[in-house]
Amino acid sequence: MSFAENYREIRSRIEAACARAGRSPSSVLLLPVTKGQPVDAIHEAANAGLQIFGESKIQEAKVKIPQCPSRLQWHMIGHLQSNKCRDAIQFFQMIQSVDSLSLAQELNKWAEKLGKRMPILLEVNVAGESTKFGYNPDKVVADIAGINELDRLEIHGLMTIAPYTPTAEKARPVFKRLAEVQARCSDILGAPLPHLSMGMSGDFEVAIEEGATIVRIGTALFGARQSSVTRQSAD
């Protein structure tokens, strides 16, 4: 299937999920995830009207972003090491994968040096999978006030990656739990946290039913990922 067909189908599935949940489709941002996809695919999606894209590796993003239209915006959705914070601040408009106070402090330091403010989401490992990064749910509740004091960072909400399951329905408790953690966090901050980034190609409809405001979709839009798109373009 072509990108245009995939895009139309995903849009209509998002609209149907919103209708079931009594939500407006405009309350859900479709974030196309282009890790492992060539720059051509990004141009095609940009031509179809998409403006905000997700990448998960700094090295790959640094090569691809300069080859894309400068009007595009980029969300970092992958694990970030502290020695990559400078690049993350320079190349991205939101960092969805903040998973420790020390990482937040390092990002804040670079945002200050580079004269920027950075919207962030805190990544929560709801299911406690050892193979995944992200805050333990109790730890995020403990750390959020400290992160909120970092004056160059703006906490916009929470992000999670549900465990892989062939049945999307099985991810529902994970999404419900993230919404509960969001409510606790906004109580602590005394302010609403607008964003819940949850749901991917295999489970985004269930995530929308549970309140997702950002769904991160890669393969269902672009097809299978390639292992080294950046090296390929240099060969």
Ligand X SMILES: *Cc1c(COP(=O)(O)O)cnc(C)c1O
- Binding stretches for ligand X (CB under 6 A): 33, 35, 56, 77-78, 161, 200-202, 216-220
Residue (23 or 216) nearer to ligand X, CB:
216
Q: In what order do the strands lie in the sheet with 29-32?
A: 29-32, 214-217, 195-197, 153-159, 118-123, 94-98, 73-76, 52-55
Q: How far is the CB of 85 from ligand X (least distance, A)?
A: 18
Burial class of residue 218 in the structure, from the number of CB atoms within 10 Å of its CB (0-12 exposed, 13-18 middle, 19+ buried): buried
Residue (152 or 229) nearer to ligand X, CB:
229
Residue (152 or 210) nearer to ligand X, CB:
210
Q: How far is the CB of 160 from ligand X (least distance, A)?
A: 9
Please identify the residue of the shown chain whose CB is closest to the bound ligand X: 218
What is residue 37's three-state secondary structure?
coil
Cα 229 to its chain centre, rounded Å, is 20
Burial class of residue 30 in the structure, from the number of CB atoms within 10 Å of its CB (0-12 exposed, 13-18 middle, 19+ buried): middle
> Which stretches within the chain are classed as H helix?
3-21, 39-47, 58-64, 85-91, 101-113, 137-148, 172-189, 204-209, 219-222, 229-234
For residue 118, what is the enclosing H or E element? strand 118-123
Cα 166 to its chain centre, rounded Å, is 21
Residue (193 or 217) nearer to ligand X, CB:
217
Q: How far is the CB of 1 from ligand X (least distance, A)?
A: 15
Residue (59 or 151) nearer to ligand X, CB:
59
Q: How far is the CB of 215 from ligand X (least distance, A)?
A: 9
Q: How far is the CB of 97 from ligand X (least distance, A)?
A: 7
Q: How far is the CB of 203 from ligand X (least distance, A)?
A: 9
CA distances, 199 to each of 134, 178, 203, 210, 221 (Å): 15, 11, 5, 10, 14
Residue (178 or 220) nearer to ligand X, CB:
220
